[in-house]
Amino acid sequence: MGYFLLGSILALMEDVGAAEPLYRVIRKIRRPQSLRELMAACLRSIYMGDPFTRESDALPELPERLRKAVTLEECLIAGIRCQVYRPTGRDEPLPLLIYMHGGGFVIGCSEDTDYITRMLCDLSQVVVVSINYRLAPETVFPGAILDCERVLESVLNESLKFSVAADCVYLAGDSAGANLALALWARLGKRQNQVKGMVLLAPWLDMEVEKYESYNRLAPEGIVFDAAFIGYARAAYVGFEKWRHPQVSPIYSPLLELPPTIVLIGEEDPFIDQALAFKERARVVGSQKLEVKVFAGMPHCFYSFPGLFEEEKACYTAIAEFLARA
């Protein structure tokens, strides 16, 4: 029943304009939370598969070099499950990179970005804390951001325990996780001066996705995600209001105060026009700290698959060079 229900609903969601009234009607005639939970369970099963039966050979092979170069510890930080990556043999305090995985706020976990976080840890010799924040629809805005804030505060308050340099912090994430990285930075207040840079991979910057040509052209039959997924994810995370809240759509955040920030995105990513608009907004307000790198022909999440694209190597090289400068 779950698969049929989700399939029927998503089939009607050819664009988000159609999705909104449909979702409003459903919320009136059914118990919204139970329905939303059912949709989320089906969506997660479709995207992620059954974690107990998932075939390991369906996933890209992690290079043996990364297994040896990085040590991994799973732990609870502020009551939230996290994965902590450290360069092998480096016990001294190192810069801290807080990572937030993607998944449209509704799916995903830190294990999904294991390759990304290992690469960041190894190439830049930083301690990476990857956060399993709570997902929508069970936890709506700003719950995920608050989880990330709690983890960061806890790590900084116990910097000796984690052997990190509390005065040298980076924030990073992919897709919805990049959105959360920007939102987290906006909430840090006096701690903002401890953030030396941000790395944003294919960021979802604006909930008003329909106003961008690249989204309308690429999302209907998109790779990795499509318009139906975005319509559901947006409604599950934030509903139909607050779309221009700067912590929901960071493209509206005060860009002049941004720390050094790099955006890396594929030319065939539905979010490419958002990234370019973000760059233009930063230029207009006079910010000189935002850099956008576009990779020709690349789709969303091209950086996630070891050895699949040559551009993936160039992406991580650009990140390493940026962090070295920052």
Tens digits of residue pLDDT in 232-277: 999 999 999 899 999 999 999 988 889 999 999 999 999 999 999 9
Confidence class for position 7, pLDDT limits 50, 70, 90: very low
The pLDDT value recorded for residue 167 is 96
pLDDT of residue 180: 98
Q: Quote the mean pLDDT of the chain.
A: 86
Residue 40's pLDDT band, with cuts at 50, 70 and 90, is low
Give the residue-averaged pLDDT of 138-160: 98
Indicate the domain borders of the chain: 64-214+250-325
Mean pLDDT of 49-74: 74
Q: What is the pLDDT of residue 50?
A: 52
Q: What number of other Cβ atoms are within 10 A of residue 317's Cβ? A: 11
Choices 3.50.50.60, 3.40.50.1820, 3.40.50.300, 1.10.1040.50: CATH for 64-214+250-325: 3.40.50.1820
pLDDT at res. 188: 95
Give the pLDDT mean for 301-314. 92
pLDDT at 160 over 70: yes
Evaluate if residue 208 carries a pLDDT over 50: yes
